[in-house]
Amino acid sequence: MLDKLHTAFILNLLVLISLLAGGCYREFIISESHLSDNMERVIGFDMVYAFADTTDMLLLYSIGADTIPTFSPLVHFEGYHTLYLDGKALEEGVENEIGQVSINRSYQVIAQNEHSTDTFSLIFTPFPTVHIITEKEIPNEPKVISWMELQYCEHKKQDQCTSLFESYAGIEIRGHSSTHFDKKQYGVELWTNQYETDQSASLLGMSFGEDWILDAMATDDLRMRNRLSHELWGKIGSIPEEDRVNDVYPGIHREYIELFINNRYEGIYCLGEKMDENILRFSSNQYDKGGVLYEAIDKAEGSTRFEVYHSEPVNSLTWDGWELIYPDHEFYWDPLAELRKTVVLQNDEEFTSSIGSLIDLENVADLYIFYNLVLAYDNVGKNNFYAKYTDQSRFFIIPWDLDYTWGRMYEKRDCGPAGMIQNMLYKRLIENDVDEFRDLLEERWKDYRETIFHKDTLIASVNKYYNQLKKSGVIDRENNRWEDVQIDLEYEYEYITDWIDQRLLILDGNFNEEQ
């Protein structure tokens, strides 16, 4: 016991020294949980342990460059008295001159104690890594308590500097489709303690938030469609002019990570923000000003496509395919009801005269073009957020869950590049040419085709993620982990780049005909 206390004191002292020196660090958000005792610790560099898979004997450690020419970290190990790295004995508690290390290369680690000799494969990865420990089986809901560690590198610091964020967290399986795949998608909520007290943090430079998504990307063998789509929307999406003083990014951010759960490697994921009032920077009294946020969660026989108006709002957090996200203390459906009635029930003259005061037509035009570019069949009804800031503001729409895009549909089925998609809102705006909506679409399409929708620009974005995935070796690790996953990255790359080329040609023709 005294040895453990002495070790803890030394480690904390080293952390303090590292912080004062401006070097790598462990970000202690709260006191460490007893759950962390269940996390296998084999070898650590500069106060951060490599995450371990004790089934496949894999160690993963995040670094900030493809190659570090002279890696000389402070080395420590736990549970072992002797460690060898590629045959070289390491000294515990001092800096070791390891030499050059590179991503996607396997280094042999032999770890010995009084009872066993274990052999691991150590791989350095350019991606942040997350390890979650929980003593309970992770359910569909509610969230169960866990301990989370996030290992990452800040590129503005020295290349070999790796930092660690630690926190309690609640975790649950997320999404209906996720239950059909061995590789699950998760929702995570940061907690300050084991009593489920929420806390906010900025992870990997994203917005401060309590709720986070671990997207398994299991329906997308390219492992980039959702991220590619959200990144593209972020380049064109906007909020209404009257609300731009909020300086809000009109979407969400996502970052690649590699995930471990209970000392088992789970593969490549995207850690992403969850859309809520915090992302939109709602004030504490935004509801008093008329601020609302709704999510279209279900097709509901066409209700979220603005085809039908089944019933009046009810005192519930859900209504006719929609969910009330904010406010969460009042059943306030009036703004959405007015918008739906205008689209579904009013005649053409009434619709034309009033729709522009209810929803931002520039936002809608951008979304119509965007959804048709990526051919997001699943999103013209559900998987959209409708938000407004005040009683006087107009609605704007934020897309969500964009995995069935870029030529892929449900169950990984191919989807050809032909066709146009819409719902009744888009249809009525185009047919009635509300506020010269058709001209707006033509101008927007022409402008975007010369810039961010240029073929070379779109392919460059694909190339960026393709090169990251290929160079890191993460797809090989993904294929090794999951028996039902055998990704051919080159085939997937050729498919999406060919699809983009054909889709742009078709849209050029369709938009010209439409106008």
Fold of the 277-514 domain: 1.10.1070
Mean pLDDT within 137-156: 90
Residues 6 or more apart whose CB falls under 8 angstroms from that of 225 comprise: 217, 402, 403, 404, 405, 406, 408, 496
The pairing of strands 26-28 and 163-173 is parallel
Specify the pTM: 0.92
Distance CA 160, CA 67 (A): 9
pLDDT in tens, 338-396: 999 999 999 999 999 999 999 999 999 999 999 999 999 999 999 999 999 999 999 99
pLDDT score for 5: 41
Distance CA 474, CA 104 (A): 8
Summary count for the chain: helices (H), strands (E): 11, 26
CB atoms within 10 A of CB 234: 13
Mean pLDDT estimate for the chain: 91
Q: Is-cis flag, bond preceding 313, omega within 30?
A: no
Residues 6 or more apart whose CB falls under 8 angstroms from that of 426 comprise: 364, 368, 380
Query: Would you state the structure tokens that stand for residue 475, as one six-digit string?
Result: 């797809």
Distance CA 203, CA 201 (A): 6
| pLDDT band with cut points at 50, 70 and 90 for residue 246 | confident
Query: Would you state the structure tokens that stand for residue 362, as one six-digit string?
Result: 């520039």
Distance CA 477, CA 488 (A): 13
pLDDT score for 24: 64
pLDDT score for 245: 79
Query: Would you state the structure tokens that stand for residue 390, as one six-digit string?
Result: 């005040």
pLDDT surpassing 90 at residue 323: yes
pLDDT in tens, 114-135: 999 999 999 999 999 999 999 9
Closest residue by Cα to residue 118 from 48, 42, 45: 42
Distance CA 286, CA 327 (A): 9
Beta strands in 262-367 (DSSP E): 265-273, 292-296, 318-319, 322-326
In our burial notation (b when 16+ CB lie closer than 10 A, e otherwise), range 236-258 reads bbebbeebeeeebbbbbbbbbbb
Closest residue by Cα to residue 385 from 275, 474, 229, 227: 275
pLDDT in tens, 493-508: 999 999 999 999 999 9
Residue for token pair 């010209």: 512
Distance CA 248, CA 254 (A): 16
Closest residue by Cα to residue 345 from 433, 423, 424, 434: 424
Domain boundaries, the chain: 2-199, 277-514
pLDDT score for 15: 44
pLDDT score for 189: 97
Q: What angle do CA 315, 318, 320 make, to 5 degrees?
A: 105
